[in-house]
Structure 1
Amino acid sequence: MNFAEDFAERFRLRIAALPANLQGAVWVVMAGLVLTVMTALIKTVGSTIPVVQILFVRQIVMTAAMLPRILRDPRDAFHTTSPRLHLARVGLSSVAMTAGFTAMVHLPLADAVAISFSRSFFVAIFAIVILHEIVWAHRWIGIIAGFLGVVIITDPRGAEVDGYTLLALLAAAAVAMIMVIVRKLAQSEKLGTVITYQAVGVGAILAIPAAMSWVAPTLEQWLLLLCIGTLSTVGQSLNFLAFRVGEATALAPFDYLRLVYSALIGAVFFLEAPTLTTLGGALLIVVGTLWGFWMEKRYRHV
């Protein structure tokens, strides 16, 4: 075992000794930082490389990470009882990533990340409409706060509505729908199967658009593209570790640290500052979400 492996094992054992929710919080904090750095790299490369090409390379790297599982037992890797749900998730993932990463390239990084949190509002709406979940008064308060936050972020004034802001909102809505679909898939599917379909399916959808708009990357850009794919895989794995050991209600607040990460990275590396409307809208969405989580936890212990 080399130094890096030894350090990683020691770190894992120290984290494993913590209470479950604290373990999850550590993984969420790390995942947020990893995924924010990934978006910053996409913003950097996206000024010269088409977003669909960036995403295609990202999916290739993710597929490579799943390849040992696929090769070991291809039938098991792709076995599913819900092909339509997987197809819907793959299509929505393609829309969410293309729209979301395009917005990140053109919007201030903190603005794009703040808008992405509006997914909590859309999840609530979709859960009511599709999953027929019961909505108590405290949930409606969170939903209304989220809706007002979205309105403030978009700052709708006719022709002045920013197209990239709308793309970011479209991505958030698509991600919310994906989360609802994953809830249904989780009842019968293995996590590895869900990731495999997403990695291979989105890559297949983006292959032709990426080929049609392909720009030959430099060596430095190739390294950044590979880093994006690697960071995406690591970030998703850390999130999975977090929610495997911790409660969603306990971990959700730590995900909002991504707003801090993105503001700092945007200010230092891109000389950006988030707009007041975005910060105000994001604050409403965060408060509404945390209110809902707090009340859910309170009612559960009554």
Structure 2
Amino acid sequence: MAVTDDMVGRMQRRVALLPGNLQGALWIALAGLVMTVMTALIKTVGETIPVIQILFLRQLVMTAAMMPGILRNPRGAFATDTPYLHLLRVLLSTVAMTAGFTAMVHLPLADAVAISFSRSFFVAIFAILLLHEIVGRHRWAGIAAGFAGVIVITNPTGAQIDGYVLMALFSAGAVALVMVIVRKLAQREKLATVITYQAVGVGLILAVPTILVWVPPTPGQWALLLCIGLLSTLGQSLNFMAFRVGEATALAPVDYLRLIYSTAIGAIFFLEQPTWSTMAGALLVILGTCWGLWHERHGNRG
């Protein structure tokens, strides 16, 4: 993990003199590329290795990254006043990652990434229902555009809705719930505690299923699996760095660069072309999100 820490440290020093939002935008853009490459590796390995096994080994690498802090202060690493929220987040994360990565293995990469953007629509809905956030007409317009985008993506007028598309949408909804829970945890928990519970908890849940479906990886697959864990850790670190120096409303649209990354990687390495309905739906979701964020950032919540 020292290699990853050194890489992040060098990059952080090089952009430290830039304005905060520009720093954050660079970190988000880089994190999106890192996570897209990670997803492409999961898609590659997932052709022969079960997704549950991939996720379990990914969690082992993440747990190894958190292990120095756990060993230094075991009680402090797991100290919390909200154990039930952590448990709920771990369960939802397990479901979201299993469904989402299964869909990514079977769908074109750009389609899967585009569908994942619908989480912004679900976050808005859950924030209203669970966090009682006040929503004006501009955010409602964005939510309506997001809903229309989800409808276009699922293409309900077709003869049959693709089961993997529904799985990807289900994952997006679960991720949205996780994000709402993280908002609540962030008010009272340390970041290290949140990551530790997620890394260890998901790994424990997946341990037995992994044993039942275990497929011995080849040496090349072991290397890819290690890269998946390292890239996941690096991507999460970059995202954290971004939101530590930049405003959420300024950084959120930058994440949509992942659609460009995934389209290019899918076309070059998997010979894939995203469907027009998925791209059109993703555009509606993106426009709806940016519309709401723009008016919120300019203080117009009406």
TM-score (normalised: structure 2): 0.96
Cα 1:23/1:92, change in 2 over 3 Å: same
The answer to whether residue 169 in structure 2 is matched with residue 194 in structure 1 is no
Distance 1:140 1:63 in 2: 40
Partner in structure 2 of residue 99 of structure 1: 99
Partner in structure 1 of residue 235 of structure 2: 235
Distance 1:136 1:84 in 2: 32
Any idea what the Cα deviations from partners look like across 1:234-257, whole Å, max 9, x if unmatched? 000100000000001111111000
- Aligned residue type for 1:251: L
Cα 1:293/1:70, change in 2 over 3 Å: same
Aligned residues: 300
Partner in structure 1 of residue 281 of structure 2: 281
Any idea what the Cα deviations from partners look like across 1:258-290, whole Å, max 9, x if unmatched? 000000000000000000000000000000000
Cα 1:58/1:147, change in 2 over 3 Å: same
* Aligned CA-pair RMSD: 1.8
Aligned-residue offset at 1:157: 3.4
Cα 1:72/1:216, change in 2 over 3 Å: same
Cα 1:4/1:160, change in 2 over 3 Å: closer
Distance 1:4 1:58 in 2: 15
Q: Which runs of 5+ in 1 are unaligned?
A: none
Distance 1:69 1:107 in 2: 38
SS at match of 1:160: coil
Give 1:130-141 correspondences, 5 Å limit.
130-141=130-141
SS at match of 1:17: coil
Cα 1:4/1:142, change in 2 over 3 Å: closer
- Aligned residue type for 1:296: E
Give 1:203-214 correspondences, 5 Å limit.
203-214=203-214
Aligned-residue offset at 1:14: 2.4
Distance 2:231 2:137 in 1: 39
Distance 2:90 2:156 in 1: 31
Distance 1:53 1:47 in 2: 12
Cα 1:11/1:56, change in 2 over 3 Å: closer
Distance 1:301 1:151 in 2: 26
Partner in structure 1 of residue 110 of structure 2: 110
Cα 1:10/1:193, change in 2 over 3 Å: closer
- Aligned residue type for 1:291: W
Partner in structure 1 of residue 54 of structure 2: 54
Give 1:262-281 correspondences, 5 Å limit.
262-281=262-281
SS at match of 1:272: coil
Q: Which runs of 5+ in 2 are unaligned?
A: none
Report which stretch shifted further, 257-266 or 150-159. 150-159
The answer to whether residue 76 in structure 2 is matched with residue 76 in structure 1 is yes
Q: Percent identity?
A: 70
Distance 2:148 2:5 in 1: 47
- Is the contact made by 2:139 and 2:301 (CA closer than 8 Å) also made in structure 1? no
Aligned-residue offset at 1:5: 8.8
Aligned-residue offset at 1:9: 5.0
Distance 1:241 1:84 in 2: 27
Partner in structure 2 of residue 15 of structure 1: 15
Any idea what the Cα deviations from partners look like across 1:128-171, whole Å, max 9, x if unmatched? 11111111000100000000000000001375100000000000
Distance 1:160 1:212 in 2: 32
Distance 2:272 2:197 in 1: 36
TM-score (normalised: structure 1): 0.96
